Amino acid sequence: MPEWPALPGCVSQGRTKEKALANIREAIELALETRRERGIPQAKGATGSLSTLPSQAG
């Protein structure tokens, strides 16, 4: 079960590794978007690119 420690509670799952990674990427993007919309400061380590996650191809 992938999680993003910089965003507490941001976890996901999938039937395959590739699907789990795709799902956590989406969860992170939505969590960051929601934080921006609500004026909630970004969690330390949550800013930047999702490129630190393994790619779906790998």
Q: What is the pLDDT of residues 19-56, one digit of tens each?
A: 999 999 999 999 899 999 999 887 776 554 454 555 54
Give dist(CA 52, CA 58) in Å, integer: 13
Amino acid 13: pLDDT = 92
All structural domains of the chain with their residue ranges: 1-42
Give dist(CA 35, CA 14) in Å, integer: 24
Query: Which of residues 47 and 58 earns the better pLDDT score?
Result: 47
Contacts of 34 (CB under 8 A, 6+ apart): 40
Amino acid 9: pLDDT = 81
The answer to pTM > 0.75 is no
